[in-house]
Each structure stands twice: as C-alpha cells, then as structure tokens.
Amino acid sequence: MEDRKFYVYAYFRPWNGEPCYIGKGHGTRWLWHQKKGENHPNKHFASIFKKAEGPIPALKVRECLTEKEAFGLEIALIRILGRANSGGVLVNLTDGGEGVLGRKLNAEERKRISEKMKERFSIPEEREKLLMINKGRKASPETIKKLRMARQKLYEDENERMKRGRKGHKGNVYSEESKLKMKLAAQKRCASEEFRALMSTRAKKAWSSPERREIQRNRAINAAKARRAFLAEAQETN
C-alpha cells in the first residue's frame, strides 16, 4: 500500500488574497517558507514576505495523497494559475513535479548545489548558524555505520591516505582541551585489539609492495645522510 502522507499547499498575497505559490510536501514542509520569510532563497517569494512585513496566509489544498497524486495536483494547479514569468500569478520557479524521494541528482545539479553551499558557508554569520543547528545533534547508528564504511573505503587507497595525512590538519591550531581529548581518544583506540590487528594488516600490505619498500629505503638513506652532515658540521663548529 502506498504511503498517503503527502499534501499540496498554497500561499496567498495578504493584500488581495491572490495565490502566489503552490507546493507539495509532507510533515511540516509547508511551514518552511514562513520560517525563511524575507530570507527566502526565491527572491520573488522573499519580496512578498517583505511587503507583508510578516507571515502570509497559507493552507493545505488537499491532504492524504500519494506522492504521485500530490505531484499531479501540484503540476495541474501551477498550470492553471500560471507562473509570473509567463503571465500568471505564481512565483514558483518551476512547473512542479520536482524533488521525487530517492531521485538521484545529475552531475550538473550536484555541482550547482555544492557551489551554493560553499557560497553560503563562506559567510561567517551563515556558517555560525549552521554550526549551531548541528551542535549537539547525534547521528543515528545507521548513519555512523555508513560514515565509518565510507571513511574505510577512502583510506584503502594508499596515495589518498598519504595525501590526507600530509595536509589534512596542516595549519590547524587546537586548544589544550582539544589536544587532551585527542590524546585520550588515540590512547583508547590504540589499546583496542581490533585496531592493532587492522594496523598490522595495513602495514604488511604496504610493505608487500616493492615500490613502497624502495620509498622507505630511500627515506632512511636520506635521513642518515642528513644526520651525518649535521654531526660533521657540529664538529667543525666546535
């Protein structure tokens, strides 16, 4: 049986009662626009909130719909009322039907979203706001498992592991409290039999490569040469 948790909602201009936006959602999605208000990413919608100087009227047109039914009604209402850029009254940026649950984004969409997030995170106020939102939030066991698997997969690539090790924390300045926490976490991790077995397996795998052994051999030779040169210079100085 299909999930009938979806609905279609509408927003109205308070000064004349004219509809200005049609959307589809579930849960509290329809209230998201009110929260954004004058900071709404849709500049046309934001201007309506600004003119109204506060929340604007909204209602659910129809509830208890399947996602397919909700999309169909959303598209139909937008087509009937029309978008402002085509002579209609709505400030919707599209004709509806987007945002299917589980839909995979193409490369262009992912790039566009990434650029918007980078731009937003470059603003100190926005960055602080996002950090405060996530502060204290605990990830579910399933999410933690996915993150751990993704990290393990990433570090299976030796070149990537070395690259991240060289520059991952370069230039970071940590407080004494953070240093102590990292030290205790490292001690706890190293005391684990599972961790020691993992590190042993990785070391054996790394040293099984002739190229890796040659790199380490050259490093040892260069280190010895540098030490001898330092001692010789120190003796000459004395």
**Is the pTM for the entire model greater than 0.75?**
no
* β-strand pairing of 19-25 with 58-65: unpaired
Domain holding 188, by residue range, is 177-206
Whether residues 188 and 100 share a domain: the answer is no
Whether residues 225 and 186 share a domain: the answer is no
CA atoms within 13 A on the CB side of 224: 6
Share of the chain above pLDDT 70, in %: 76
Whether residues 62 and 44 share a domain: the answer is yes
Whether residues 213 and 202 share a domain: the answer is no
Cα 22 to Cα 98: distance, rounded to the nearest angstrom: 12
Residue-level pLDDT at 101: 44
Residue-level pLDDT at 48: 94
The CATH number of whichever domain residue 64 belongs to comes to 3.40.1440
Stretches where the chain sits below pLDDT 50 are 100-103
138 lies in some domain:
no
Among residues 55, 89, 104, which one ends one of the domains? 104
Whether residues 233 and 181 share a domain: the answer is no
29 lies in some domain:
yes
Q: What are phi and psi of 133, to 5 degrees?
A: -60, -40
Helix (H, G, I), strand (E, B) or coil at 9: strand
Whether residues 232 and 182 share a domain: the answer is no
Tell me the β-bridge partners of 218: none
Residue-level pLDDT at 195: 79
110 lies in some domain:
no
Per-residue pLDDT tens digits for 7-28: 999 999 999 999 999 999 999 9
Residue-level pLDDT at 23: 94
135 lies in some domain:
no
Question: H-type helices in 53-106, by residue range?
Answer: 67-81
Contacts of 2 (CB under 8 A, 6+ apart): 66, 67, 68
Among residues 56, 80, 104, which one ends one of the domains? 104
DSSP codes joined into one string, 93-131: SS-S----TTPPPPHHHHHHHHHHHHHHHTSHHHHHHHH
Whether residues 199 and 226 share a domain: the answer is no
230 lies in some domain:
yes
60 lies in some domain:
yes
Residue-level pLDDT at 113: 63
185 lies in some domain:
yes
CB 175 within 8 A of CB 181: no
Per-residue pLDDT tens digits for 153-171: 666 665 655 555 555 555 6
Whether residues 182 and 224 share a domain: the answer is no
Cα 203 to Cα 62: distance, rounded to the nearest angstrom: 61
Whether residues 99 and 181 share a domain: the answer is no
Whether residues 34 and 85 share a domain: the answer is yes
Whether residues 100 and 181 share a domain: the answer is no
Domain count, the chain: 3
Write out the two tokens for 49.
Answer: 């909130």
Among residues 104, 119, 146, which one ends one of the domains? 104
Residue-level pLDDT at 175: 79
Contacts of 27 (CB under 8 A, 6+ apart): 5
Residue-level pLDDT at 111: 73
